[in-house]
Structure formats: structure tokens, C-alpha cells
Chain A
């Protein structure tokens, strides 16, 4: 039972490059989320998808886009990476909003 799988685990980008973080869950969860975690800031919600076909902005959406490809997959795209986007990114899913989040193991992104 894989749970929530994130790829890649580590990535180094140059300023201005683009990339997509992938997330897939095999628990048939309806809701999926992208968070970033920075020292002293806790986890901050970037975007979420309450159900397949819907996406909404969270607390810190600027510089990011998302796609809920199907019920299993929710990707996060950085169109033009900036050093301020250096962070650890976590994807999570839940059967219903706000309950029982399962997190992926994270992507450590460095933008130089």
C-alpha cells in the first residue's frame, strides 16, 4: 500500500527554469493538497483540490499552478523558478476535506 507518492524526492533548479512536481495517491481519496514547509513557518497551503475537476488557491499560490489530472494525480508546476521557492514540498490527500490527511514523503527543492 503505497499511500501518497511524490516525485522527485530532490531537485536543484536554476532561476527561471520550470518543473512539475508529481503526486499520486492510491487510497481513492477525493481531496488533494500541496503544501510547502520552510523553517519557522510551518506548512503553508499552496493549492488544493477538493474533488476531481476542481482546484482552488491556498495561502501562498503565487508562482505556482496545479492540475488535478484525475482522481489519483495532482501535480504542481513552477513556471519560472525563483530562489524564494526553495523549500520542502509536501503533497497530501484525504477522503474528505480537513480530515485524515496522508502526506507524501516530500520533495526537497533548491533554486539557485
Chain B
């Protein structure tokens, strides 16, 4: 079983739509959680951290459910520029070192 699992998509939505991505992680020792965005043939870039209380950054809302080991990302009022792959990322403490473990990503296509 993968440590971080995501639906690969693609999610194909019209501009203005609301779309939600989910992610599950297997290691209960996970310390912190993030969403990264990766454009085609580019490097990943941090989109937002995910806090237990949930957090919002403009049109983006992230939620964490530790009991269910589940993370979500909600995008409201989708823009064409939101088209990208969204990576769910978990920070795990192993052997006295922290490491980021990346999901395979969920691809989003926003159409006009």
C-alpha cells in the first residue's frame, strides 16, 4: 500500500466550478501535511500547509482529519490557471529524521 494515496484524475471541470481532492495517508506518525502544485514539466511548488483546524487561502481550503488519516483540498471558483497536478504531501518522522512523502498527484483540467 502506498504511504500517500490520491485519485490520479483527471478532474475536468468548467471555469467557475468548485472541485475537491482527497488524499489518504497510512502512517499515523505523520507530523504535518501540505498541498503542492506542479505544472506540466515544472517543479513542485508549495500551495499551502494543512492544519488540524482547517485553513483557507483565498479560493483554496484545506482540511485534515487525523482520526481518518485523510486530507482534502477544495478549490472554489476554478480558473483556467488552476489547471495543474496537485500533490498531497505528508511529513513523516523516521529514524530521527523528517522526510516529505509525496502522493502521485491529482490532475485538474479547467476548461473555458
CB within 8 Å of B: which residues of A? 33, 35, 40-45, 48, 50, 56, 58, 90, 96-101, 103-106
Contact = CB atoms under 8 A, between A and B. Distances in A.
B45 interface: yes
A43 B31 CA distance: 19
A53 to B, nearest CB: 14
B22 interface: no
B72 interface: no
A45 B101 CA distance: 8
Contact of B43 (A45, A97, A100, A103): A103
Interface in B68-112: 87, 91-93, 95, 97-105
A31 to B, nearest CB: 9
A48 B91 CA distance: 14
Given A42-B104, A101-B46, A56 B97 contact: yes
In which size bucket is the chain B interface? 20 to 34
A43 B97 contact: no
A40 B5 CA distance: 11
Given A98-B91, A99-B32, A101-B100, A43 B8 contact: no
A97 B97 contact: yes
B1 interface: no
B37 to A, nearest CB: 11
B44 A97 contact: no
Nearest to A40: B104
A104 to B, nearest CB: 6
A45 B94 CA distance: 13
